[in-house]
Chains A and B, each alone.
Chain A
Amino acid sequence: MSKVVGIDLGTTNSLVAYMEDGQPQVIPGLSGTSAVPSIVSFDPDGSPDQVVVGEAAKKHLISGSDRTIYSVKRLMGKGIEEVQADLKYLPFQLSGKAQEIIRVHVGEKHYTPPEISAIILSELKQRAEAHLKAPVEQAVITVPAYFNDSQRQATKDAGKIAGLEVLRIVNEPTAASLAYGLQKKKEGRIVVYDLGGGTFDVSILKIRKGIFEVLATNGDTHLGGDDIDQCLMLFLLREIQQQHGRNLMDHPEALQELRLLSEKVKRQLSSEDSAAISLTLAEQKIDYHREITREEFEGLIHNLVERTLTPCRQALEDANLKPEEIDEVILVGGSTRIPLIKNKVSDLFKQTPHSELNPDDVVALGAAIQADILAGSITDMLLLDVTPLSLGMETMGGVVNRFIPRNTTIPTSAKEAFTTFEDGQQSVSIHVVQGERELVKDCRSLAQFNLCGIDPLPAGMPRIEVIFLIDANGILNVSAKDLRSGKAQSIEVKPTYGLSDEETEKMISSSIEHAREDMEERMLIESRNEADTVLRHAAKGLRHGTTLLDPAERKLIEQSMSDLKKAIEGSDHSLIREKLSSLDGATQKLAELLMDQSVQVALKDKKLSDS
C-alpha cells in the first residue's frame, strides 16, 4: 500500500513527514536538511522544463530575481487587488483582473499560484518517494487556520496538479496540537500561537481523551516573518536614501539583496543584542554600514507584534475563556523565536509559552499524524476543527444573510429555501460570501451559484432547497434539490478567485506530460553518467589486460566502446542502455581474466555495484 504523507506547505519553507512505528518523522533531503525553501526558479524564457526548487532556486533570488518566485503562498486564492501593497516590493511580475486568479509572469510564460505551489509539492513528493522507496500518491496538506475557502481550494488544486490526492486540508495550528498531544499526552485547554513566514493563526483547543476540539480560531493571513523583514527593509531603505540620496525602490535586485539582509539581521537579533549591517552595492555607489540593537529592532516591529494580539483576544472571547483558564500556550512557526513575541504572548496569557517542540517541524509532524488517522492506523485520536469565517449570502440591498457563523465545528451545513420572483423564471443566482461584516462589499466573494433548469412556473411556485455544506477540509460544497419533484437541481459554479475544474484538469494533464519529459531527461542523464563510468573502467581494463586478450576480442571491445561513445552524444537513453549492455558483454571475458589474475579489481567492483 502506498504511504500517505503529511506536507507543511509553508510561505518560506516546506516539509514532508510520515509516520514510522507510531512516531512522526520529517523526511530529510539528500543534503540532510529537512526544509525545502518554498522557492521556484525558472529559466529566463520561463519554460517549466528547467525549473529548480528549494536551495537550488534560492541561489537565483538575486541574480534571477524576475524569474525566481518566493512566498507564493501569499498569492494563493487571491485577486490582484488584494496584494497591491506587496506588488511594489516583489521583483517578479504579476497580473490579473479584479476578482480573478493571479498570474505570475516568467519570461514568455505565466503561471497561476497553484501551479507554482504544485512545483514545490512535486519536489516534496519526489523526496518522499526517494526516501520511502515507494510511490507517494496521497497526502494531507496543511494551511493556515484563517485561510478562507478560495485559499483552501487553491491549495487542494495545487496538490492535484502535482499528482497528489489531497485526502485532507488540515489547519496548521491544529496539526501542531496533534504533534504536541501525541508527545505530551496532556489534557486541558491549550492555545497555539502560530506565526509563520507569511501568516498568523491562533487556535484555542480543548484536549480530552484523545479528542482535540477546537473552540475558537482567529488570525491574519497576511502577517508573518515576511512583514517583519519588510519592516526592517523599509527602515534601511529610508536611511540609505537619506545618506546616499538614492532610492533603491526601482532596483529589484538591490531590493532583493536588502530583503535577504534584513532577514539575516532579524534572525541574528533573536539570539544577540545587536547586529552589524553592511551593504555594498558597487553599481549604485552605495557603501552602507550601521549597527542595530535589538531594542531598535523591537521598536520597529512593535506594531506588527501588537497586530497578532487582537486575534488572540478575539479567540479568547469567542471561546468564552479568560487567559487564566488556559492551561498551556504553544509557540509554532519560525517567527516565534523573536524574544519580543515570546514576551508579548506570555504577558497576554499570563504564563510562559512552550517552545520545546521544534517550531519549524511541528506542523509537518502533525500532518503526518492526521495522515495516519485517515489511513486508519491511529484510531484513538480525533481532531474536531472549526470554520474560521462566517458564511453567508447576498440578499436585498447588498446585505449579508449569515447562515454558518465562524467557529462552528466542521463538517457543518445549512439549508436555505429559494423560489422565483417572475413567472417562467428558469434560473436563480446565489452569491456566497465569507466574512464577519454586515455588507457584501466588506466580505469576501466566494462564488456565484446558478440554480438552472428550473421548470417554468408562475412566480413563487418553484421550491428549491439549497444545502451549503462545509466539509472537514473547511471547503464549501453546494447542492440543491427541487422539493416538488425531489430531483437534484443542477448548479453552475463560478468561483470568484480560483480555477475552474476544466482549468485544473488541463494543468494536471500538462504536469503529467512534463513529469514524463522530466523522467526522460533524468533517465538520459543517468544513462550517460553510467556510460562514462563504464567507459573509464573498460579503458583501464584494456590497458592492464591487453596481453590476455586475442586481437578479435580486443577489437570487439574497442568497437563496443566507440559505439557507446557515439550513443552518448545523442539523446536516446534506450540506445545508450543497449550499447552499455553490449559493452558489458564484450568485456565479460576480460573482466574474468583480470579477476583470475587478481591484477586489477576495478572492473569487478563496477560489475558488483551494477548488479
Chain B
Amino acid sequence: MESELKTDTGKTLTTRSCWSCKIEMGDLFFCPSCKALQAYAEKTDYFRCFGLERHLQMDPEKLEETFHDLSRKFHPDFYQRKSQEEQQISLENAAILNKAYRILKDPMKRAAYLIGLAEGGQEIPAEAPADLFEEIFALQEGLEEVKALTPEKSDLKLTLFTNLKNTMEKLQSRQKEALREIEAFFPQWDMLVPPEKDQSFTTQQMDCLQKMKKILSQQAYLERMIKNIRSAIGGR
C-alpha cells in the first residue's frame, strides 16, 4: 500500500533508483518493488519535505497532521528490526522532517527560511527599529545600572527591575505587531509563487522578500534585547 504514495511534492519531478534493489523509481518514500525506505533527495527544501509549494500561508492543523503522518513513515522506532542502512535512512529522514516542522510551524522562522533560500542562507542581521531609539537608549542605561548594582542598594534594584520588566513587555507587544506585519505580506507572496517553477526567484518576489526581511531584522533585534533583559533580571 505504501508504494501507492504520491511523491513528496505530489508530482514526479525526478527519477532515481532504489538504493537497495536498484530499480528505477520516482521520487517516492518507499521503493515500489522491495519496499525499502528511501532517503529524502539531496537539497530537498523544508517546504518540499512536507509536500508543499513555497507558500507562506499555512494551516497549522494541517501542517501538524502532515508532520504526524510523515513521522509514522520515518520514525526510527519502526525500523528497529530493519537493516542497518534502512535504520540510518530513517534516522536522517526523521531528523530532516523534525527540523522542517520546527521552521515551518513558526511564521517568522518560515519567512526567514524562505529568504535564506533566496539569498543563499546567510543569517538575517539584527537592526534596531528607528522609532524605538529612545526606549532602546533608556534600556541600555538600565542594563548598565543593573550590572553596577551593589548589595546595599536593594531598594534601587526593585525600581530598576520594574522598569526593565515594563520595557520588556513593551518590546514583546511590539514583537506581536511585527508578526502581524509580516503575516500581512504572506498572501502577497503566495500570489507571486508560480505553481510549477521552484528554483529561481523573480524581481517581484525578491522585492517582497526584502520587505519581509526588514521586519525580520527588527524582530531579531527585539529578540536580542528581550534576551538581555531576561538574563539581567534572572531566569532563563
Contacts and interface: CB of A to CB of B under 8 A. Distances in A.
A428 interface: no
B77 interface: yes
B95 A469 contact: yes
B99 A384 contact: no
B77 A409 contact: no
Interface in A366-381: 373-376, 379
A181 to B, nearest CB: 14
Interface string A338-353: 0000000000000000
Interface stretch (A119-127, A205-213, A290-298): A205-213
A383 B77 contact: yes
Contacts, number: 60
11 contacts: A209-B68, A211-B68, A376-B80, A382-B71, A384-B71, A384-B75, A408-B99, A413-B96, A413-B99, A472-B76, A472-B77
A410 interface: yes
Interface in B71-115: 71-72, 75-78, 80-81, 91-92, 94-96, 98-99, 101-102
A100 interface: no
Interface in A303-342: 310, 314
A436 B99 contact: no
A376 B81 CA distance: 8
Given A211-B68, A382-B71, A384-B71, A413 B95 contact: yes
Contacts of B43: none
B98 A208 contact: no
A26 to B, nearest CB: 23
B85 to A, nearest CB: 15
A291 B92 CA distance: 60
B236 interface: yes
A411 B77 contact: no
Nearest to A408: B102
A167 interface: yes
Given A382-B72, A383-B77, A472-B77, 15 more contacts: A168-B77, A211-B72, A213-B68, A314-B236, A376-B81, A382-B71, A384-B71, A384-B75, A408-B98, A408-B102, A409-B98, A410-B98, A413-B99, A436-B236, A469-B91
B91 A411 contact: yes
Instruction: Give me the 5 closest cross-chain CB pairs, A-B, nearest first.
Output: A409-B98, A413-B95, A411-B95, A374-B80, A211-B68
B75 to A, nearest CB: 6
A48 B236 CA distance: 44
B99 to A, nearest CB: 6
Interface in B49-65: 64
A373 B71 CA distance: 14
A221 interface: no
A373 B75 CA distance: 11
A553 to B, nearest CB: 60
A410 B101 CA distance: 12
Contacts of B81: 375-376
Residue from A168, A411, A413 whose CB has the most chain B CB atoms within 10 Å: A411
Contacts of B94: 411, 472
A303 B221 CA distance: 36
A412 interface: yes
Contacts of A374: 77, 80
Residue from A310, A379, A382 whose CB has the most chain B CB atoms within 10 Å: A382
A386 to B, nearest CB: 9
A256 B95 CA distance: 47
A176 to B, nearest CB: 18
A462 B92 CA distance: 25
A382 B67 CA distance: 12
Contacts of B91: 411, 469, 471-472
B77 A373 contact: yes
Contacts of B64: 208
B68 A208 contact: yes
Interface of B: 64, 68, 71-72, 75-78, 80-81, 91-92, 94-96, 98-99, 101-102, 231, 235-236
Nearest to B99: A412
Nearest to A410: B98
Residue from A167, A375, A376 whose CB has the most chain B CB atoms within 10 Å: A376
Residue from B64, B77, B80, B92 whose CB has the most chain A CB atoms within 10 Å: B77
A200 to B, nearest CB: 16
Interface in A28-71: none
A374 B99 CA distance: 23
A167 B80 CA distance: 8
B75 A382 contact: yes
Nearest to A378: B77
A545 B76 CA distance: 69
Contacts of B72: 211, 382
Contacts of B75: 382, 384, 472
A373 B235 CA distance: 38
Contacts of A384: 71, 75, 98
Interface in A80-115: none
A376 B75 CA distance: 13
B102 A409 contact: yes
Nearest to A413: B95
A213 B72 CA distance: 12
A472 B80 CA distance: 11
A379 B72 CA distance: 9
Nearest to B102: A408
Nearest to B61: A208
Interface string A384-423: 1000000000000000000000001111110000000000
Interface in A468-491: 469, 471-472
A412 B68 contact: no
A472 B87 CA distance: 12
Nearest to A317: B236
Nearest to A384: B71
Contacts of B77: 168, 373-374, 382-383, 472
B167 to A, nearest CB: 18
B152 to A, nearest CB: 25
A305 to B, nearest CB: 18
A441 to B, nearest CB: 15
A536 B215 CA distance: 92
Given A209-B68, A382-B77, A412 B236 contact: no
Nearest to A404: B99
Given A213-B68, A384-B71, A469-B91, A412 B98 contact: yes
A297 B76 CA distance: 47
A471 B71 contact: no
A426 B231 CA distance: 39
Nearest to A318: B236
B68 A409 contact: no
A394 B85 CA distance: 32
Contacts of B68: 208-209, 211, 213
Contacts of A379: 78
A471 B79 CA distance: 13
A168 B78 CA distance: 12
Nearest to B68: A211
B140 to A, nearest CB: 18
A307 B99 CA distance: 32
